[in-house]
A and B are shown apart, each in its own frame.
Chain A
């Protein structure tokens, strides 16, 4: 086991991590503010992937632009998310978590089948944008350029998210809503619009990450329920509702997964779920979160 191999493992874990961060950040934001754990977040991710494929097909004759397709897909999912928040989710804030979980699960069922209805069940794939097609060597390990791009995108989203949350008026509102929704409303803020906005941003991120995954993974039915548990693990490790927690949670998840394979081959799946359970037992609010009243 030489250094370049371990470094390759590390880079692989980092790519997984940044991918999951793109997905889980939206999930965590919504939970932090609305206290709703959104099972349908994985479905938004899947719809994003399908929409990206569709957009590539439509754009294909005129111009080959993966980036435009990804943006269109994310935008489409954001609109969908906004509609769902306005029409359905709005009515269940503050109800028992049983009903919240089941409502978002109903969306998983509906969106999953809707995707099958529209795009069928065969595997679809999108080719890598030519600009990022190659790869290069770092310390003897090969890193595909696209993976590097994902890592940078993850860091960019993290920095942008941090900046918006801590340095902008909108971010101040979001943090206030997370602490005390009623008080914020009483101070004259439009909490309803804030929630819709949050949900739109969260859906946009889910759609975007779904679109960005298409060049390296094929699009298949079932990717929604698979990714959502991974995203749950990440947000639980870092702390439900904590933005930086989600970032570090993703990094820990990625590394445990890629090195878990070396230590316990075949049981790396087990190790991440065990990690999630241990964190919940020891610190239910996660490594970086704060206990909720």
Chain B
């Protein structure tokens, strides 16, 4: 009885809000560098979370998710740098552009399955890369778009606590607000009837189709939503990185975000966030010892695939369940 109400309580806590408040303290509690890392983590977390809508929720292995991240960052970067459009318009435009790209590409992708789906998503992302790489007049070609400006954050100076912060820290606060709102929306989507249908499709597409579900339609919808959120992450990252460059759209970055997601665990809502935080911090820690970070990452990936296919969160959940069984005896299990 006690246990049951405790679990219910855990579920009732608005975790997104809790995480938001905890993360919000970083500019005041930590150093400037901590805020820098936190910004990177928060943006990566949204990117990984958007991929997990496909990977974990719908069971679609997209190897070209970086395309929508890239579209978002280029749309936002071009609008803000070249045309001086304010962030409040450039960000939605980036999301819309990425979602539109995902709609066009996804329309074709969802007609394929498994390895062919992965290949086609890869092909489309390389098409986006080739365009960004060669269309000098608009995308800056291999020079990219340097010096994307920070958004105008004057309104923050009217808020007492925020006015003392540096621009990079204010941008972190803005990023955190945008990302946490996005996560809240994603959480709602996953637990909505629509999200449950996506899970049904992941578990058994044939059965989902036979109960009258428009499998392709649902998959496409998931693809578009995931693309849109990846676009938001890309837009934020372009500003954070003070520029948009072609390696934002190059295929190894698709693999990187996939590793992030898997590392955290694709079966749990917070998995991609944990994965993003772990990977960014690990990268930070290891690159201070050695320049051979990819080597270490490869080894981590191998260990993960063979020993902990459920990722960090998956491993912890299994570990806790095991401990609880040990402590409470078989009756509780």
Contact = CB atoms under 8 A, between A and B. Distances in A.
A113 interface: yes
A99 B307 CA distance: 12
B123 A37 contact: no
A88 B303 CA distance: 11
Nearest to B294: A109
A254 interface: no
Contacts of B116: 280, 284
B120 A97 contact: no
Interface in A217-243: 225, 229, 232-233, 236, 240
Given A88-B302, A98-B55, A103-B302, A280 B119 contact: yes
A176 interface: no
Contact of A113 (B131, B258, B295, B305): B295
Nearest to A92: B305
B122 A106 contact: no
- With most chain B CB atoms within 10 A of its CB, the pick from A102, A106, A110, A276 is A106
Interface stretch (B107-115, B162-170, B203-211): B107-115
A84 to B, nearest CB: 11
Contacts of A99: 305, 309
B65 to A, nearest CB: 13
Interface string A254-285: 00000000000011011001101100110010
Interface string B54-73: 01000001010000000000
Nearest to A240: B115
A152 B240 CA distance: 52
Contact of A109 (B118, B122, B124, B297): B297
A119 interface: no
A156 B305 CA distance: 39
Contact of A269 (B133, B255, B294, B299): B133
B61 A274 contact: no
B125 to A, nearest CB: 9
A267 B122 contact: no
Contacts, number: 106
B298 interface: yes
Interface string B289-300: 000101101110
Which size class do B's interface residues fall under? 35 or more
Contacts of B306: 91
B84 interface: no
B32 interface: no
A102 B127 contact: no
A101 B134 contact: no
Given A102-B305, A109-B298, A270 B130 contact: yes
Contact of A103 (B131, B295, B305): B305
Nearest to B120: A280
Contacts of B115: 35, 37, 97, 240
Given A109-B301, A267-B134, A284-B116, A114 B295 contact: yes
Interface in A12-33: none
Nearest to B295: A113
A110 B294 CA distance: 7
B124 A277 contact: yes
B295 A102 contact: no
A232 B125 CA distance: 14
A112 B294 contact: yes
B259 interface: yes
A64 interface: no
Nearest to B301: A106
B130 A269 contact: yes
- With most chain B CB atoms within 10 A of its CB, the pick from A97, A108, A116 is A97
B44 to A, nearest CB: 18
Interface in B254-311: 255, 258-259, 262, 292, 294-295, 297-299, 301-302, 305-306, 309
A236 B119 contact: yes
Interface string A83-127: 000001001100011110111011111101110110000000000
B251 interface: yes
A117 B293 CA distance: 12
5 contacts: A37-B115, A92-B305, A98-B262, A229-B251, A284-B116
